[in-house]
Chain A
Amino acid sequence: MKLLQRTNRTYLLFSVLLLIIAGLFLYHLLAGVIEDEITEKLIVDKERIVQKLRAGEPVPHLPPIIEVETLPTHDVKSLSVSDTVLFDPVEEEREPFREVRAIEVINGKSYQITLRHVALESHDYYNSIGLALTIVLLLTLTGLWFINRTISKSLWKPFHNNLKALSNFALDQERPIALQQSTITEFAELNRAIEELTERVRSDYHSMKEFTGNAAHEMQTPLAVIRATLEEALQTDGITREQATLIASAYGSSQRLAKLNQSLLFLAKIENRQFASVEDISLSQAVQHVLESMQELVLTAGLTLETTIDSEFITRAHPMLVDTLLSNLVGNAIKHNRPEGLIRVELRANLLRILNSGHPLEVDPMTLLNRFSKASQSSDSLGLGLSIAQKICQNYNWNIRYTTDREWHILTVEF
C-alpha cells in the first residue's frame, strides 16, 4: 500500500468519524433550540388568548391547534408543557405535536387552554443534516484526491527519481551517485544519508580493489625473487645431487605458492565483481574451444574423450570467466580420472554435464566445491579449481552440482 493511500485512508476514517459526531451534536443542538422556540411561541399565544378572554372577545377554536374549554369546576391556575402524538385531520396521519396546556381563571370562570404546534420530525433533522454533511464529505474527498495527486506528482518526484538512481547504483561506477535535491527536510536528510552511505561503500570497494592489486604486487614480486634465485642456484656449477634435490623441492613449493596466490586473487576478483562486463557467448562454441585447447592434455593423460554437443544456447557472461569455468571443470575431469579412463562431455540446451571415471568418493561430493577441499589430503591439488568454478556460477546465478554414481563423477552446470 502506498504511503499516500495509507494516510488518505486514515484521514478519511477520521473525517467520517468527525462528521458523525458533528451531525449528532448538530441534531441535539438544533432540536433543543427549535423545541424551546416552539414552547415560547405557544406560551406567548396562550397569553394572547388569555387577554382576548379577559376582554370578552371571542377566541378561535382550531383543533388540534387551539382548543379552549370552559371547565365546570374551579380549578387552580396551572401550566404544563408536553409532547404528544395526535391524528391530524388535515394531513390525515398521526403527527408529533408540542403541547402547552394551561388552566386560567378569568372573570371567575375556569378555562382550559390547549395550544399545539407540529413538532419537526426527527428523521427530517437527520435527513437535512446528513445531506449537508455528505456534501461536505464529498467535497473533502475530492479536495484530498486532487491535492494528493498534485503532491505525488511534484513533491514525490525527486523521491521516485532518487529511488531509481539508487537501484541503478553499481559499486564500481566511477562517479558518485547523482541525486535530485529536494527542499523537503526529510527528503534532503535522506539524500544526505544515501550520499554518505554510497560514498563510503564506493571508497571501501575502491580500497578493497586496490588491496587486491597491491597484494598481487607485494606477493608476486617476492615470489619472483624466490623463484629466480632458486633457478640461479640450480645453475651453479658443482652442486651435489642432494643439494639439487633440496633446491628443486623448494622451487616446486614456490611454484605451488605462486599458483595458490594467483587462484586466491582470482577468487577475490570475482567476489569484487571485477569481471562486470558481459557479452553474448555461445555455449557450444565455448565448450568446443576449451575441449580443443585441452585435447592434448587429455591424450597425454591417456584418457578417452566423448562429446555430445547439441545446443544453441546463448548466455551472457564475461568470456574469461566462462573460459575459466569450463577449463576448470574439464581439468578436474582430467586430473581426478583413473588410468585409461573416460571423460564424457554433454551439452544439451542450457545443461552441461561433465562425467569422468574415477574412484568412488568417501566424502559428500558437494563439499569438494568448497575452498581447499579435496578428496584425499595427499593430493598435490590445491583444491581451488572447483571452488573457482562454483564462485563463477554463483556470480551468474548458475546452478552447479557435483554428484557421483558408483565410479562416475558427474558435474552438472545449469546455465
Chain B
Amino acid sequence: MKLLIIEDHIELLRTVVGYLSSEGFLCEEAATYAAAEEKLGVYHYDIVLLDLTLPDGSGLDILRKLKEDHPETGILILSAKDSLDDRLKGLDEGADDYITKPFHLAELNSRLNALIRRSSFQGRRTITFNEIEIETDAKEVRIGERLLELTKKEYDLLLYFVVNKGRLLTKEAIAEHLWGDQIDMVDNFDFIYTHIKNLRKKLTLSGGTDYVQTVYATGYKFTER
C-alpha cells in the first residue's frame, strides 16, 4: 500500500510518516505544493493524505487534479480548517474522508484502513485477528462459527482495537473515536471501561481469547500476550 503524505509542517510530516511506516505502509512525503505536484505527476499512489493549506498553493487544486488524472486514488484530507464549509468543499471535490487536526494517530490509521476497505480494488472486506473475524460490510463479528451479538459501540471498539492492534490506545483517543465531539460533555472516561468490560465478556463467553490489556493510567492495548 503506497501513500503520499502532503503536509507543510515538517515535524508533523515526519511523525505521521514514521508512524504509518511502522504500520506497514510505504510512505512518501511532500512538504510543498510544487513537490506534491511533481511526485503526483510521476508516480501512482493508492492513497494521498492531503493538507488543504500549503504555503505555495491550495490543496483543493491538487485534489481536483488528482481526481481527474487518477480517480481511483483514495484521498484523505488532513486540515486545521475545521469549518463545515471547508469540510463540505473537500468532500464535494471528491475527497473520501476528512480528519481535523489535531488528530490521534490511531484515529488516522483507523480512517486509512476504512478507506482501504471501501476501495473496491482491494476487496479486503474481512479483517481477521487470530480467531476473530470481522465482516465490515455486514458489521458482523464471528469467533469460529459463532456470531457475536455486539452493540454498535462495542463493534466500533473492537474494529478500532483490531485495526490498531499491538498499539497502546489512550482513553482519550478511544473516547473521541466512539463519541466524537460529544465526549467534551463528560468529565471522565469511566464509561469506556463499561464498554470494554462488556466487550471482553462477550469475547471470552464465545470461546475467544481476551486480547485487551489494560495499561496503567494511560489506556488499553489489543495484543497477543
A interface residues, tally (CB under 8 Å): 52
Task: Please determine whether B102 and A297 come into contact, CB atoms closer than 8 angstroms.
Answer: no
**A203 CB within 8 Å of chain B:** no
Task: Please determine whether A251 and B170 come into contact, CB atoms closer than 8 angstroms.
Answer: yes
Interface residues of A in 223-257 (CB under 8 A from B): 223-229, 231-232, 234-235, 241, 244-245, 247-248, 251-252, 254-255
Task: Please determine whether A301 and B191 come into contact, CB atoms closer than 8 angstroms.
Answer: yes
Chain A residues, Cβ within 8 Å of B190: 300
| A219 to B194 CA separation, bound complex (whole angstroms) | 34
**A334 CB within 8 Å of chain B:** yes
Smallest CB gap from A384: residue in B: B184
**A207 CB within 8 Å of chain B:** no
A-B contact pairs, 23 of them (CB 8 A): A213-B81, A216-B82, A221-B102, A223-B101, A226-B102, A228-B12, A228-B15, A228-B105, A231-B105, A234-B168, A234-B170, A235-B168, A245-B217, A258-B102, A296-B153, A300-B191, A320-B84, A327-B181, A331-B182, A334-B185, A335-B185, A335-B186, A380-B187
| A320 to B84 CA separation, bound complex (whole angstroms) | 9
Chain B residues, Cβ within 8 Å of A222: 9
- Which of A216, A232, A265, A300 is within 8 Å of B194, CB to CB? A300
Question: In the complex, how many angstroms separate the beta carbon of A206 from the nearest chain B beta carbon?
Answer: 15
**B53 CB within 8 Å of chain A:** yes
**A367 CB within 8 Å of chain B:** no
| A262 to B11 CA separation, bound complex (whole angstroms) | 21
Task: Please determine whether B105 and A232 come into contact, CB atoms closer than 8 angstroms.
Answer: yes
Task: Please determine whether B185 and A244 come into contact, CB atoms closer than 8 angstroms.
Answer: no
Seen from chain B, the residues whose Cβ lies within 8 Å of a Cβ on chain A are 9, 11-12, 15-16, 18-19, 53, 80-84, 100-106, 153, 167-168, 170, 172-173, 179, 181-182, 184-188, 190-191, 194, 215-219
Chain B residues, Cβ within 8 Å of A380: 187-188
**A220 CB within 8 Å of chain B:** yes
Task: Please determine whether A262 and B170 come into contact, CB atoms closer than 8 angstroms.
Answer: no
Q: A216-B82, A234-B170 are in contact. Are A381 and B187 (CB under 8 A)?
A: yes
Question: In the complex, how many angstroms separate the beta carbon of A358 from the nearest chain B beta carbon?
Answer: 13
| A274 to B81 CA separation, bound complex (whole angstroms) | 14
Chain A residues, Cβ within 8 Å of B218: 234, 244-245, 247-248, 251
Question: In the complex, how many angstroms separate the beta carbon of A385 from the nearest chain B beta carbon?
Answer: 7
Task: Please determine whether B80 and A220 come into contact, CB atoms closer than 8 angstroms.
Answer: yes
| A152 to B195 CA separation, bound complex (whole angstroms) | 76
| A363 to B191 CA separation, bound complex (whole angstroms) | 30
Question: In the complex, how many angstroms separate the beta carbon of A213 from the nearest chain B beta carbon?
Answer: 6
Task: Please determine whether B11 and A225 come into contact, CB atoms closer than 8 angstroms.
Answer: yes
Question: In the complex, how many angstroms separate the beta carbon of A270 from the nearest chain B beta carbon?
Answer: 12
Task: Please determine whether A331 and B184 come into contact, CB atoms closer than 8 angstroms.
Answer: yes
Smallest CB gap from B16: residue in A: A228
Task: Please determine whether A225 and B186 come into contact, CB atoms closer than 8 angstroms.
Answer: no
The 0/1 profile, CB within 8 Å of B marked 1, for residues 293-333 of chain A is 11011001100000000000000000010000001101110
Given A213-B83, A297-B185, 5 more contacts at CB 8 Å? Answer: A224-B12, A225-B11, A251-B218, A255-B172, A301-B186
Task: Please determine whether B105 and A221 come into contact, CB atoms closer than 8 angstroms.
Answer: no
Chain B residues, Cβ within 8 Å of A328: 185
**A217 CB within 8 Å of chain B:** yes
**A259 CB within 8 Å of chain B:** yes
Question: In the complex, how many angstroms separate the beta carbon of A234 from the nearest chain B beta carbon?
Answer: 5
In this complex, which of A228, A254, A255, A331 has the most chain B Cβ atoms within 10 angstroms of its Cβ? Answer: A228
Task: Please determine whether A224 and B102 come into contact, CB atoms closer than 8 angstroms.
Answer: yes
| A334 to B19 CA separation, bound complex (whole angstroms) | 37
| A265 to B100 CA separation, bound complex (whole angstroms) | 14
- Which of B80, B172, B215, B216 is within 8 Å of A221, CB to CB? B80
**A338 CB within 8 Å of chain B:** no
Question: In the complex, how many angstroms separate the beta carbon of A317 from the nearest chain B beta carbon?
Answer: 14
Chain A residues, Cβ within 8 Å of B186: 297, 300-301, 331, 334-335
Question: In the complex, how many angstroms separate the beta carbon of A196 from the nearest chain B beta carbon?
Answer: 30
